[in-house]
A and B are shown apart, each in its own frame.
Chain A
């Protein structure tokens, strides 16, 4: 292959689509891992249906996995440069995610009359117009794979499962990558099944060679620029795993046992699944009978002295509301991870959204303030889980950490820190036999109470949901209730004294300030960067500390003539900011489609506002 055939690119988006069970998530993961190991920055985004195996060959059953590789990657990318479609249904539902001119690889063997009808095609799907708009490569993936299977004496079912490897082989050829990495993975994964290793390797190689023989592909080979990243040791990580590891690190650093009480719920389950693997590192995981028992067991564990956590998604957070009020009232440390999904009710379980913000801020009876923080990338879920734990333990309060399905399931490169380099965590433990111990005696600076653990001598006391006076006993005294309500609020307000100031990026001298929060940082950053590179002036501020807000938030907002708040809901953060800064007029850009922002739509929106 000569160099002239290679197209150099800063970044490349590849989307794998097929029937649920076609192994598209695995193909995507293997491609992103191989890319990361060969020096690309990466971000991934799985797009899968709620059904585990929806009816074969239907649109409902299509599962997708998008990988964005390049030299500086903020998000999983808008539209793809290469689309793999393993059947007619995935071709039909995913073509809209392909750029004009994209290479589209289809398993042509699957385009039978029956499958096309199931996908809703009445006639030949490959119209002349379509053939002009895309480079469609009709690869006989099924028949080639079946032939290799036969040669190796594998049954049809086993051979069928390898079709994804053929497609992956084509992609590896097109992206100018070697197969060694994936060979090594297969050898690890199927260590006890040499037949399976041999078959998968053969199919992968056959896909690679098939691509080499195809002339059309030789004009579509991409060399993606290597990433320029800060020095360090790196790995690929999903947001949910990063969250789990952040909690483990916080437990180790604070010296408090880690307890997680949770109930399975999409897309948060993997936080519990990951921590369940680490009993050896001291993770005490309890799979509860329901969401309420999940949070209540965590509150009990917190009372007994653990770094107590519960993980959930929107509907689960609703179920935990009453117990969160108990955690607020008893002033116990607690980390609640909410991996947001489309709502309300069951909503869109496998799709992303930022619509639990109001619930996190206000979803409890009574005056029940707590800390709310949000992660903004898959990798920084680690730091925000760690930070949530630190704030909970040092300020003696529940903390809600908002991530979302996009961050939780998506993956990114993670620069591995040393636990010893992370900020220290000092839980506010009471001293045994302290004659002056009072359950609600407060630190004069933070207003946090002390944590006296059952088992400690000389500190026996009672906590509970009923209002107490500072000394501990119950009180229905009107002035006391006013005082305790003030104290609980003030304790959360004062967290603002311990968090960094809000920063502005992009062009700070711009007229337009773009405001984002949580999981949308990738797309907004890129949109703002591109507009500034194009000569427009746009400033950007992204919030991770939601409640309380950084102290300089008002100063920033008041500086700009135009503000647009972008979020994947109907304007919850915009509403929250307006109540605190009514003097600042704010526009909104909202998307409620269960999908992340695309850079293109954001640029269009900002350009329009700039022109007004």
Chain B
């Protein structure tokens, strides 16, 4: 069956300003959320979707305030439930372009169940996870992504919780799209959000975001300008996995695991460097890429982008088929079906 698209296109060209709401943005000055909002606002015009058909859904947390700052329809719901609410929005009206925004606690602690099930079903909406590795709105408790051993208000002796890596959750739940960006690189954030919008099915974009009040510089080890090029790699589909200030480092698979190598050293040539294929169906390599840290650069860009019929498409196809084959034209037919008799 041919691929179906449900969200109507706008007849007009929008600009970022068309999506900027009149509400005062109330995040702390310097918060990474400002940059993510800006990236999101500049993504909408590129989707070409009708403004009235865009619906923002969020849970609770600093990031979940976003619907107020976007001039579309929006639902600022309750803690952890954004994916469940978005599921209903999209099922009730597949013509809506649905965007879900969540923090790390919202999406992976209280809302963890809804996240993995949305991803498993390949629900057709776009999820952005603002990952600052802390509960900010409640003022600094450790979250499911806080680094092991970190001292926070509720872990004064260091956490003994092993953290989640959102990418691994997405792959584990058979996700079809996962990308990662940094709040301090808005152009990359916009770029992956645009790819996410084009993807049919659940897209998950993780943005490593800085909370300067309660977890300042948590991502500094990879985001600082001095080290960023050596500590991160921006993956591009069909291109070799090259990184580093000098563009002379690469990722190779040594038969057992991924390793970072320097081209020209120890006999390493470009031929040893892996090519990124975002559309490989098997999650194995994507899982390894999403997990890279420590000696390996943190992977950014679109890590996984696989085609698979979305829940929306499967659902609408089934609805159409059932309607076409239904023996009842209306509820009266149903009420009078089977064994009935006249008195």
Contact = CB atoms under 8 A, between A and B. Distances in A.
Decide whether A and B are members of one complex: yes
A300 B87 contact: yes
B13 interface: no
Chain A facing B: main interface SS: mixed
A252 to B, nearest CB: 5
Given A462-B68, A462-B74, A279 B323 contact: yes
A296 B84 contact: yes
Contacts of A473: 23
B55 A261 contact: no
Contacts of B55: 304, 454
Contact of A461 (B73, B83, B91, B335): B73
Category for how many chain B residues contact A: 35 or more
Given A236-B339, A279-B318, A418-B332, A462 B85 contact: no
Contacts of A453: 93
B12 interface: no
B330 interface: yes
Nearest to A250: B331
Interface centre among B52, B88, B93, B343 (most CB of A within 10 A): B88
Contact of B75 (A229, A298, A303): A303
A280 interface: yes
A288 to B, nearest CB: 7
B319 interface: yes
A37 B339 contact: yes
Contacts of B76: 462-466
Interface in B181-196: none
B57 interface: yes
Contacts of B23: 473
Nearest to B332: A419
Interface residues of A, number: 70
Given A296-B85, A297-B84, A279 B322 contact: yes
Interface in A242-282: 245, 248-249, 252, 257, 259, 261, 278-282
Contacts of A299: 77, 85, 88
A530 interface: no
Contact of A248 (B57, B93, B331): B331
Interface string B316-343: 0011001101111011101110111111
A286 B73 contact: no
B2 interface: no
Contacts of B339: 33, 37, 235-236
A424 B152 CA distance: 58
Contact of A455 (B52, B318, B338): B52
A259 B92 contact: yes
Nearest to B311: A286
B66 to A, nearest CB: 10
B113 interface: yes
Contacts of B75: 300, 303, 330, 462-464
A392 to B, nearest CB: 15
A459 to B, nearest CB: 8
Contact of B340 (A229, A233, A282): A233
Contacts of B328: 278, 280-281
A289 interface: yes
B67 interface: yes
Interface string A281-318: 11010101110110011111111111010000000000
Given A37-B339, A455-B96, A297 B326 contact: no
Nearest to B85: A300
Nearest to B76: A464
Contacts of A33: 339
Contacts of A417: 335
A460 interface: yes
A229 B343 contact: yes
Interface string A408-425: 000000001111100000
Interface string A228-241: 01111111100000
Interface in B285-320: 315, 318-319
A264 to B, nearest CB: 15
A78 to B, nearest CB: 27
B338 A235 contact: yes
B151 interface: no
A326 interface: yes
Interface centre among B72, B87, B327 (most CB of A within 10 A): B87
A489 B6 CA distance: 39
Contacts of A305: 92-93
Given A245-B331, A418-B332, A304 B326 contact: no
A474 B68 CA distance: 9
Interface in B40-91: 51-53, 55, 57, 60, 67-68, 71-78, 81, 83-91
B95 interface: yes
A457 B330 contact: no
Given A461-B73, A466-B76, A290 B91 contact: no
Nearest to B22: A473
Given A245-B331, A293-B113, A462-B74, A454 B96 contact: yes
A230 B342 CA distance: 10
26 contacts: A227-B343, A229-B343, A235-B339, A261-B87, A280-B326, A284-B91, A289-B113, A289-B114, A293-B84, A297-B84, A300-B84, A300-B86, A300-B87, A300-B88, A301-B89, A304-B93, A306-B92, A308-B88, A419-B332, A454-B53, A454-B96, A455-B93, A455-B96, A459-B52, A462-B68, A462-B73
Given A235-B341, A282-B323, A455-B73, 8 more contacts: A252-B330, A280-B327, A281-B328, A289-B114, A300-B89, A303-B88, A454-B73, A462-B67
A-B interface, 10 closest residue pairs, ranked by CB to CB distance from nearest: A280-B326, A300-B88, A464-B76, A297-B88, A296-B84, A301-B92, A300-B85, A301-B88, A454-B73, A279-B322
Interface of B: 23, 51-53, 55, 57, 60, 67-68, 71-78, 81, 83-93, 95-96, 113-114, 117, 315, 318-319, 322-323, 325-328, 330-332, 334-336, 338-343
